[in-house]
Structure 1
């Protein structure tokens, strides 16, 4: 069973649809919660906590980067963003994501981690201070 993570929360359905289109054009599956209820009753948005944009856990970092890149001011409304536990920066990448790997060494390492998942390794790496960590630490 795949897990989801909320990337962003929107007040209006139109905002959510624009970002959904942007993410889907990058190959990321997006699921909007509360969209239809809030579209039918806009005043319910605050009471319901807004329209929640969820993506699969493995797409979270890529989706987070796209949202930040498209509108840096929007990051204030992000519900979850991964920060490095060492330096506090948000320049974190998933270690076994072949698509975001830079260079031959990172690509081979990402492929190895995805092929042999039982190798003991950390899932995330800070590109600022090179700290490797897991989210549950």
Structure 2
């Protein structure tokens, strides 16, 4: 049984680079499901359901705050 839940879904591997750093900096236990496959064959990402950020349910609120700050901060944008 896997106690981790999906906090966010990304389409391409480059989108998770900064998020990965922010989560490591906050010492949040996480993993990205389908990350390796999307890195090998990026066009399969849609077929796999995207790259899913998995976190422990106890960390979900903290992760949501980190993601909100990341997505809505004018200084950090992925183009």
TM-score (norm 1): 0.50
SS at match of 1:3: coil
8 Å contact 1:30–1:53 — kept in the other structure? Answer: yes
Aligned to 2:27: 27
Partner deviation per Cα, 1:26-60 (whole Å, 9 max, x = no partner): 11011010001011011101111110001111100
> Is 1:69 aligned to residue 73 of structure 2?
no
Residue equivalent to 1:46: 46
Whether the aligned pair in 2 keeps the contact of 1:4 and 1:57 (CA below 8 Å) is: yes
Name which structure has the greater RCO, CA cutoff 8 Å, separation 6+. 2
- What secondary structure, in the 3-state scheme, does the structure 1 residue paired with 2:27 have? coil
Matched, 1:4 2:4: yes
Structure 1 runs, 4 residues or longer, greater than 2 Å off: none
What is the match of residue 60 of structure 2?
A: 60
Q: How many residues align?
A: 73
Gap runs ≥5 in structure 2? 74-79
Asked which structure has the greater CA Rg, the reply is 1
- Quote the Cα distance in structure 1 between the aligned partners of 2:47 and 2:11: 11
How far residue 72 of structure 1 moved from its aligned partner, in angstroms, is: 2.8
Is the 1:30–1:54 Cα contact (8 Å) retained in structure 2?
Answer: yes
Give the match for residue 80 of structure 1. Answer: none
Normalised by the length of structure 2, the TM-score is 0.83
- RMSD between aligned alpha carbons? 1.7
> Which stretches in structure 1 are left out of the alignment for 5+ residues?
74-137
